[in-house]
Amino acid sequence: MTHASPSMRDTAVVHRPGRLSRRESRLAFGMTLPSILIVMAIVLFPLLTTFWISAKPIELADLRAPEVRAREQVKGEAVTADDVFLLRYKLRNSSRDKPVLDVRLEDSLPAGLVPLELDPRCELAADRSLRCALGEFEPGQSETLNIDVRAEQAFIDNPESAKHSEVVMTGRSLNPLLTLDFTRENFIKAFGVREFGTVLWVTFVYTIGGTAGALVLGLFAALLLNQTFRGRAVFRGFLLFPFVAPVIAAAFTWVVMLDPFSGSLNTLLVQMGAVEAPINFFGVRTIQIQIFGLSIPFPLALSMVIAFEAWRYFPLSFLFILARMQSIPQDMYEAADMDGASPFQKFWALSLPQLAGIMAVLFLLRFIWTFNKFDDIFLLTGGNAGTRTLTVQVYEQAFALNNLGAGAAVAVLVFVLLALFALVYFRAMPEEEGL
> What pLDDT digit, counting tens, does each position of 220-240 carry?
999 988 887 888 888 888 888
As a whole number, the mean pLDDT across the chain is 85
**Cα 427 to Cα 425: distance, rounded to the nearest angstrom:** 5
How high is the pLDDT of residue 109?
Answer: 82
Average pLDDT over residues 373-381: 93
pLDDT at residue 19 tops 50:
yes
How high is the pLDDT of residue 161?
Answer: 63
How high is the pLDDT of residue 435?
Answer: 45
How high is the pLDDT of residue 434?
Answer: 44
Work out the pLDDT band at 256, boundaries 50, 70, 90.
very high
How high is the pLDDT of residue 351?
Answer: 87
Residue 128: exposure state from Cβ atoms within 10 A (0-12, 13-18, ≥19): middle
Highest mean pLDDT among 188-197, 270-279, 333-342, 364-373: 364-373
Q: For the chain, give the percent of residues with pLDDT over 70.
A: 91
pLDDT at residue 379 tops 60:
yes
Looking at the DSSP bridge assignments, the partners of residue 68 are 93
How high is the pLDDT of residue 1?
Answer: 47
Reply yes or no on domain 194-402 having CATH 3.40.50.620. no
Average pLDDT over residues 193-208: 91
The answer to whether residues 358 and 316 touch, using CB atoms and an 8 Å cutoff, is no
pLDDT, greater one: 9 or 131: 131
pLDDT, greater one: 434 or 280: 280
CB atoms within 10 A of CB 293: 5
- One-letter amino acid at 388 equals R
- Kindly list the domain boundaries of the chain, sorted by start residue: 68-174, 194-402
Average pLDDT over residues 92-121: 87
CB atoms within 10 A of CB 307: 15
Residue of 50, 90, 40, 27 whose CA lies nearest to 412: 50
Average pLDDT over residues 165-175: 86
Backbone angles phi, psi at 162, to 5 degrees: -70, -20
The answer to whether residues 129 and 111 touch, using CB atoms and an 8 Å cutoff, is no
Average pLDDT over residues 177-184: 86
pLDDT at residue 11 tops 70:
no
The answer to whether residues 138 and 95 touch, using CB atoms and an 8 Å cutoff, is no
pLDDT at residue 329 tops 70:
yes
How high is the pLDDT of residue 102?
Answer: 93
Question: Domain spanning 68-174 has what CATH number?
Answer: 2.60.40.1170
Average pLDDT over residues 87-93: 91
**Cα 28 to Cα 30: distance, rounded to the nearest angstrom:** 5
Among 101-105, 178-182, 385-389, the minimum mean pLDDT is found in: 178-182
pLDDT at residue 2 tops 90:
no
pLDDT in tens, 402-421: 889 999 999 999 999 999 99
CB atoms within 10 A of CB 391: 23
pLDDT at residue 110 tops 80:
no
Taking the alpha carbons of 78, 82, 88, 89 in that order, is the dihedral positive or negative? positive
> Residues for the chain: how many in total?
435
**Cα 318 to Cα 239: distance, rounded to the nearest angstrom:** 9
Q: For the chain, give the percent of residues with pLDDT over 90.
A: 38
- One-letter amino acid at 85 equals F
Q: Euclidean distance between the first and final Cα of the chain, in Å?
A: 56
The answer to whether residues 213 and 366 touch, using CB atoms and an 8 Å cutoff, is no
**Cα 415 to Cα 435: distance, rounded to the nearest angstrom:** 21
Among 121-130, 188-197, 259-268, 313-322, the minimum mean pLDDT is found in: 188-197
pLDDT in tens, 279-312: 999 999 988 887 777 888 889 999 999 999 999 9
pLDDT at residue 201 tops 90:
yes
Average pLDDT over residues 68-92: 80
